[in-house]
Structure 1
């Protein structure tokens, strides 16, 4: 019985180990294929930074509720404990109570409500500006990974071909058919490619990590972006006038709206600081059972401070300074927006013209050429140096073309970012 029990435990542990290992292998090799639209949907649903910023909007809305509330009335009650005067009976028979209510003046409550509402708008502007920034990062990462993976496939192809050639060359060298320098030349080229590929893959892994954080996917997942090149040979940047982009930036840039709202906030705050110089007052009602003026005394009163010394001079001066400062910040932000649009528009036009100057058939023709080069080398129709030179030229040109495509797409995303408008979203 004991042996059977031990056997069952061993089998369960073995099954758990196998299942865990299989699960780990599955997780390690899990690949997620995404289009840019799917990536954006995951980002909007899962991004933690956006969720945190949404809570700031909720907090700002709660401050509006607080600003709408009226001050609570004050109530006081006192009861006699001891008295030397025994003519009126025991001291505990004397008690008094009162109630008072504070009333704000000069529209302070309404002004506080206005400030709270502007704070809600500012929280929303901050949220949408964060959304604009993170979406720009997301799209840049997506296309960076896509084109770098295209470059990585070139390295994989060349490394695979050279590895096969090296195996053949080592066999031929062992038979004495070729010189050792040919084997060493291929080995050297292979090691160089492997080192370059490793550096490229490290860069891909870094961008993958950032993209995974943005869309909140497991760290073991390998993301494979699925993209197409709809901009092939199209003059899409030139089709949108510069002034249209600049006007759109003035309307849709939320950091600019935030700077404008800061001016509005400080203007209302100045009104509030001036209103603060006007004293608030409180009305009170008091009752004293055995009062100084007779029994069951009922009295009413009013109280307020006399603004002889403190008329909030400092607060008013600070509010005026804040208005001037926020106006300068707004002008600085407008200049920054205009500079962003102008520089990025020129850069995007330059990249578009450069990319469109390339022959669309160049890439396919070059791919066909390198396949024929490899066949001719296997037939010994070309020398080793010619073979390696063709391969190096193929690799360099393909990588440059991928980099140019990435730079062009990135320039379009940059224009979307600086204008706050998805002019060129695919």
Structure 2
């Protein structure tokens, strides 16, 4: 099983030599995808006040347009650029010094013979010295620093995975909440329309003195209660839409509507989940666990690099001195090296060693917490699934039919207003329970997928 981030990252991994070119290509592809998909979306938003998509299509839009995900991909390119930087040799150093820009007659009188020109009429009787120096990096420091930076690339990739994991969890739960609110709001909208029709009929009967004003007022009170509930649900829907628009990078007044065909859970698929295999190896999917392991790997690579830093580099130099010594023109060669008497990089080595110990404990703690989370969330998921399975598949349909029958009997005055209101209250409560049971399946499944770190 591969998460989306793993598949996406395959497209942007680069070797050190090609990181700049590939990074630019990836940036262009990402930009074109963003522009192309955004233009399609914007045209749809302009044509309608409501964007109606399925959960799957909303998620595709989220993966292509979320600005945080797009920004995070550049961190991988940045990390790969640091691998390239670590591979480079130090630049040679050129020094020109001891140049006399002019010479007086008195100074020239001390010379046994004048200094000749260097070329043409340039630099006659001019003293100068030139030195070229190159640092030779010892103890394979460049390779060891590259190893450190390569761990940084892996860390950037896992940070992308972790960001995607968190954003998908937030996005899907918000999508579920919006879907739930839409469906629950529709129940109250249907009730409001029904009560309006009843009020119109009761108003005529009130005018003919067939019913008491108290019954009519009770229906008006019920209509007010239903309208208040619709208003509260509308505000909650607006809040969920606001969160989704940020995650989808959508601006403008258009409303979001989630098609409801995939809100009812597929029990057969949920019952066939292979939890045994997931429990055995789910830790290798968790980006946060991988990050903790990479922190440990980073300090191990850093320790190797810091130990190599205790071995001094060598500086080779070649110099030319004109008119500054015994000979009018002098070529010389030399080398320089730091003597590791006081500074043998002890502090940096100790820092890396302590980092290894620290990250080992933290990684083990995170593994224990992840396993405890898996056990708890799996139990919660099974409990939600068991409760939903206990609801008769035909119960909701039967509930709608019985409520319709109660309404007809109430209109025909076969049952009292009190009986009708009691059943309506039970009807609304059971509708809420059914919708919340479906919502809980989605939430618990997402929590379990978040704990596992991959799609299940």
Q: TM-score of the superposition, structure 1-length normalised?
A: 0.88
Contact 2:96 2:129 in 1 (8 A): yes
Question: Out of 82, 86, 90, which is 1:67 matched to?
Answer: 86
**What SS does structure 2 have at the residue aligned with 1:188?**
helix
Aligned partner of 1:20 in structure 2 is: none
1:159 aligns with 2:192: yes
Aligned partner of 1:95 in structure 2 is: 128
Separation of aligned partners in 1, 2:273 and 2:102 = 93
Aligned partner of 2:425 in structure 1 is: 392
Task: Return the offset for 1:85.
Answer: 4.1
Question: Out of 54, 66, 71, which is 2:73 matched to?
Answer: 54
**1:369-398 CA-partner distances (Å, limit 9, x unpaired):** 111111111111111111111111111100
Separation of aligned partners in 1, 2:368 and 2:238 = 37
Aligned partner of 1:31 in structure 2 is: 50
Task: Return the offset for 1:410.
Answer: 1.4
**1:321-350 CA-partner distances (Å, limit 9, x unpaired):** 111111111112111210111111000111
Task: Return the offset for 1:143.
Answer: 2.3
Stretch of structure 1 that moved more, 300-309 or 210-219: 210-219
1:322 aligns with 2:359: no
CA RMSD between the two structures: 2.1
Separation of aligned partners in 2, 1:138 and 1:422 = 15
Contact 1:279 1:307 in 2 (8 A): yes
Task: Return the offset for 1:236.
Answer: 2.6
1:132 aligns with 2:165: yes
1:262 aligns with 2:282: no
Contact 1:248 1:420 in 2 (8 A): no
Contact 2:173 2:443 in 1 (8 A): yes
Separation of aligned partners in 2, 1:230 and 1:378 = 33
Contact 1:67 1:112 in 2 (8 A): yes
Contact 1:152 1:201 in 2 (8 A): yes
Q: Which runs of 5 or more structure 2 residues have no equivalent in the other structure? A: 1-44, 116-123
Separation of aligned partners in 2, 1:128 and 1:214 = 16
1:370 aligns with 2:403: yes
Contact 1:28 1:221 in 2 (8 A): no
Task: Return the offset for 1:230.
Answer: 6.3
**1:100-159 CA-partner distances (Å, limit 9, x unpaired):** 001122221111111111111110111112112212222222222222211111100111
Aligned partner of 1:338 in structure 2 is: 371
Separation of aligned partners in 2, 1:367 and 1:228 = 21
Contact 1:282 1:303 in 2 (8 A): yes
| Residues 92, 323 of structure 1: alpha-carbon distance in 2 compared, 3 angstrom cutoff | farther
Q: Which runs of 5 or more structure 1 residues have no equivalent in the other structure? A: 1-25
**1:277-314 CA-partner distances (Å, limit 9, x unpaired):** 22112000000111312111111111111111111111
Contact 2:55 2:262 in 1 (8 A): no
Instruction: Number of aligned residue pairs: give it.
Output: 398
Separation of aligned partners in 1, 2:402 and 2:198 = 18
Contact 2:133 2:316 in 1 (8 A): yes
Separation of aligned partners in 2, 1:367 and 1:77 = 94
Contact 2:175 2:244 in 1 (8 A): yes
Aligned partner of 1:210 in structure 2 is: 243
**What SS does structure 1 have at the residue aligned with 2:339?**
coil
Q: TM-score of the superposition, structure 2-length normalised?
A: 0.82
Question: Out of 80, 86, 93, which is 2:100 matched to?
Answer: 80
Contact 1:248 1:419 in 2 (8 A): no
